[in-house]
Amino acid sequence: MPRTPSEYSVHLLLDGGHREEVRFATLQDFQKWYSSTLVPKQDSREFLNVPIKNIQGEYMVVRPTSVLAIRVEPIFTSSVERFDE
């Protein structure tokens, strides 16, 4: 039986060497944000909102032209991994 990720960690590599991590509940949530928000404005210098769902009262904006690379990592929080410390 394949494991299902609890969430997805999305690592943004930005111009200037900065790295940011945001989390999405599902891969479909990330794909929707990526295809409907980031890709249509990929050549824009205007700020775009990056959803940060796990942090109350905090938000992040980026310029689409500053995003150089994106890495998507599934996060598994099974009961076995929690006790592996």
| C-alpha–C-alpha distance, residues 72 and 13, integer Å | 11
pTM score, whole prediction: 0.79
- Nearest Cα residue to 65 out of 49, 43, 80, 46: 43
Q: Which pLDDT tens digit goes with each residue over 40-75?
A: 999 999 999 888 876 677 888 999 999 999 999 999
Structural contact between residues 50 and 34, judged by C-beta atoms closer than 8 angstroms: no
* Burial readout 52-84 (b: 16 or more C-beta within 10 A, e: otherwise): eeeeeeeeeebebeebeeeeeeeeeeeeeeeee
